[in-house]
A and B are shown apart, each in its own frame.
Chain A
């Protein structure tokens, strides 16, 4: 009897699997620069015990957490440290989102409005008096420039220029484009359609797509995030289960949010469709490895690019797919930058109270890029792109855009026909 009871009594409480080794704290980009942040171990599994006793033990300093998940990557015991921190913010934080947080978080709404009057918005947001107001009144740091809004949404372009031809392909995927592609940078979506079409895949939009909600979660709007997440998951489910179309993405953070954060922080069940949602580079790499598709590249393409490992790519363990794919381009010299957080963490770095910390966190990365002086930087995350472009002046490209650029479309179509 003794044996049985003791074998059964193994803690299912993730926080209790923490052995206090503190490796997470050694890897935390915030702890490295911010002495007032208690660090992941202490903010997560340690203080959670006290929060369970009394919510007065919730420390608002936890909002300094970037949710980069590097602590979880480092943890040898599989403790979901950042999840514990984020969940406690959702449960206990008394800090209510201010107007700025609502605006930064509601990428869908703000994006839709901005698209309609894009040139005005882009110009206006760049004006010094506007920046001063944003900084002083709204709390958006004056050093930040909002990513430019596109005058045509990706969805509009797709419906006008691509939708009609997609059914003619033999194989099909769906595309979760995300807010950034839709409102700010439709070219990345176009690049993906170009590549997928070249290898014989039709690309379709989801029945309904909402912002993945990462910014809502980070800004204390988890209720709205949950609603949007449910819409996305049911669309993804329809695509994967009924239409048998894998859902591709070009943003590592949207992907990570939907695959992991939905379940861990928003209680949305994604287990049945999780494997049907993947980053485009991973999907392509796997097809190539299985011999299902082939890529042909332009002979004249030459590039010296530095790859930046976005935190959520590190967490998913998917960096290798993007980098291996890039290395297939004959004219590519790919340099791996040290894996470190750039400091932006989505909307985090836009807030004036975080600006300095955000830049300090990224300083090592910026220095390394400047020393290497590549043609461009490449990364799978759009917010890393803004941060690196703003902080170094180097252009940052998504691997899919580089691939599309280097692709010999006609030769590729021939190889895959």
Chain B
């Protein structure tokens, strides 16, 4: 990658979540010179810590029709431009005996008004098409929900931004906003690997840092009132459902169960938390209990399904400008022109919204940026397929492909053809649970901004399966060494990767999950001495 850090970009996008990645792509596609900076790894924030649900919008139809309409439009767009990241599962909104069945009529009516197809089906039909559903349901509505992989969606946007000339820097944290003559002229960044600071100049800075956008705005001397809302989710060991299952009632805790890849995810809770906690979210036993208790109402099998881990993210909710107290909070998209709002030219904030409306958010921010920069190119992101969806995979119909190849195609889409699989060494598996080959790991290391094992996990699913790194972590670290990482560094990375896995397992550490973590600790700590070696060095 060619990084010309001395040049002045048209736009610097701050934040490597899906919004930042989408904005960088849109800007680059419209011919702007773009730099994307992210303080840690892509998808490290809310992008990587949600359900992976491609909302149909039905969930918001009754309470927020604007969000609902946005969702269904983006839903249909993403199915086309990011086909490889979307699984067209459809979803059910079920009414249980304790729910008010009359809500169903209101719900279906609201869906139709928002342009969301909503078909009432009989409980028998619901049980037939989704056998895991709570059999005591008294009503069901089928909607075009789907499952989407936010990790691969972000990766695809970054790849396309790069393909259109954008520069991309992960592990570069904005520590200051450069201002001259009352306008923003760039950012001061710190390389979080080596601590070095440097200045990056641009005609425009777009703040797409999610919840951290609060601090970015403050660095520029303006205020964006963010209200962090923590959402906790549980990952189960395998899929019990193949359709999204929701409760047909007003949105509440733990009422969505999504099939994602080889697992399913229940969530979420919703609690306002202090801004000081957003970098270190704690998951409480109470939250875990609510998720299991409510989850088994959707699909009773969850009560006896192994829980792999728990995780939490923070929704970047924004207070409306006319209400700094935060009482009236919008869940919609917020695009702030700080020039007109605060008299500070050169800064735009794009926030609020949802993971799945990222493209629309990016379009809004880019439209504003283009207007300011005097560029009149139209947005093409709604029709141009992302890398992985565009082109063909090169697979021949009828030919046998290995499970790892098929799994890799599910993650990388048509880019699977860039994965080396001629040699047996490359076909060998690094991660057996998630079918990740040595070839795919090498591809991710060389193409997808992988610096450590956590990065690798997000690009490939290494370590996301049942064993949570037990067998794959050391193999993956080995491949990273082969491709140039220092052994000492790889060893330290291995230790921190395993600790990161344990962090998510700890809130649900009982039964087989506890047994597994014990075995992992015995292998790495007791047998290999990883913890000691890392310290001794």
A-B contact count (CB 8 A): 107
Indicate if A19 sits at the interface (CB-CB under 8 A): yes
Indicate if B421 sits at the interface (CB-CB under 8 A): no
Indicate if A1 sits at the interface (CB-CB under 8 A): yes
Indicate if A9 sits at the interface (CB-CB under 8 A): yes
CB atoms of A50 and B403 under 8 A apart: yes
Within 8 A of B (CB), among A28-52: 38, 41-42, 45-50, 52
Indicate if A6 sits at the interface (CB-CB under 8 A): yes
Which 5 pairs, one residue from A and one from B, show the smallest C-beta to C-beta distance? A11-B306, A16-B306, A12-B304, A20-B467, A49-B262
Indicate if A2 sits at the interface (CB-CB under 8 A): yes
> 1/0 per residue B291-335: CB within 8 Å of A?
011000000000111110000000000000000000000000000
CB atoms of A9 and B304 under 8 A apart: yes
CB atoms of A13 and B433 under 8 A apart: no
Indicate if B289 sits at the interface (CB-CB under 8 A): yes
- Which stretch of B157-165, B371-379, B497-505, B512-520 is in the interface? B512-520
- How far is it, in angstroms, between the C-alpha of A60 and the C-alpha of B402 when the chains are bound? 10
What residues of B have a CB within 8 angstroms of the CB of A45 in the complex?
A: 466
Smallest Cβ-Cβ distance to A58: which chain B residue: B403
What residues of A have a CB within 8 angstroms of the CB of B103 in the complex?
A: none
Indicate if A164 sits at the interface (CB-CB under 8 A): no
CB atoms of B305 and A16 under 8 A apart: yes
What residues of B have a CB within 8 angstroms of the CB of A21 in the complex?
A: 519
Chosen A-B contacts, 8 in total, with CB atoms closer than 8 Å, are A5-B288, A8-B304, A13-B304, A16-B305, A41-B432, A49-B465, A50-B435, A59-B402
Tell me how far the C-beta of A14 lies from the nearest C-beta in chain B, rounded to whole angstroms: 10
CB atoms of B262 and A9 under 8 A apart: no
- How far is it, in angstroms, between the C-alpha of A40 and the C-alpha of B261 when the chains are bound? 22
With contact pairs A9-B304, A13-B237, A13-B238 given, residues A53 and B292 touching in the complex (Cβ less than 8 Å): no
B residues bordering A, Cβ < 8 Å? 237-239, 242, 259, 261-263, 285-286, 288-289, 292-293, 303-307, 400, 402-403, 406-407, 429, 432-433, 435, 465-467, 470-471, 510-512, 515-516, 519
With contact pairs A11-B305, A13-B305 given, residues A53 and B515 touching in the complex (Cβ less than 8 Å): no
With contact pairs A9-B292, A49-B238 given, residues A57 and B306 touching in the complex (Cβ less than 8 Å): no
CB atoms of B432 and A9 under 8 A apart: no
Indicate if A96 sits at the interface (CB-CB under 8 A): no
- Of the candidates B237, B286, B465, B467, the one whose C-beta lies within 8 Å of that of A11 is B237
Indicate if A118 sits at the interface (CB-CB under 8 A): no
- Of the candidates B289, B292, B466, B510, the one whose C-beta lies within 8 Å of that of A18 is B466
What residues of A have a CB within 8 angstroms of the CB of B304 in the complex?
A: 8-13
What residues of A have a CB within 8 angstroms of the CB of B510 in the complex?
A: 6-7, 9-10
CB atoms of B289 and A16 under 8 A apart: no
With contact pairs A11-B304, A41-B432, A42-B432 given, residues A53 and B512 touching in the complex (Cβ less than 8 Å): no
- How far is it, in angstroms, between the C-alpha of A296 and the C-alpha of B142 when the chains are bound? 75
Indicate if A359 sits at the interface (CB-CB under 8 A): no
What residues of B have a CB within 8 angstroms of the CB of A6 in the complex?
A: 285, 288-289, 292, 510
CB atoms of B516 and A20 under 8 A apart: yes
- How far is it, in angstroms, between the C-alpha of A22 and the C-alpha of B407 when the chains are bound? 21
Smallest Cβ-Cβ distance to A42: which chain B residue: B432
CB atoms of A11 and B512 under 8 A apart: yes
Smallest Cβ-Cβ distance to B241: which chain A residue: A52
With contact pairs A11-B304, A11-B305, A50-B435 given, residues A16 and B470 touching in the complex (Cβ less than 8 Å): no
CB atoms of A49 and B433 under 8 A apart: yes
CB atoms of B293 and A5 under 8 A apart: yes
CB atoms of B238 and A17 under 8 A apart: no
Tell me how far the C-beta of B431 lies from the nearest C-beta in chain A, rounded to whole angstroms: 10
Indicate if A95 sits at the interface (CB-CB under 8 A): no
- How far is it, in angstroms, between the C-alpha of A22 and the C-alpha of B475 when the chains are bound? 15
- How far is it, in angstroms, between the C-alpha of A41 and the C-alpha of B516 when the chains are bound? 15
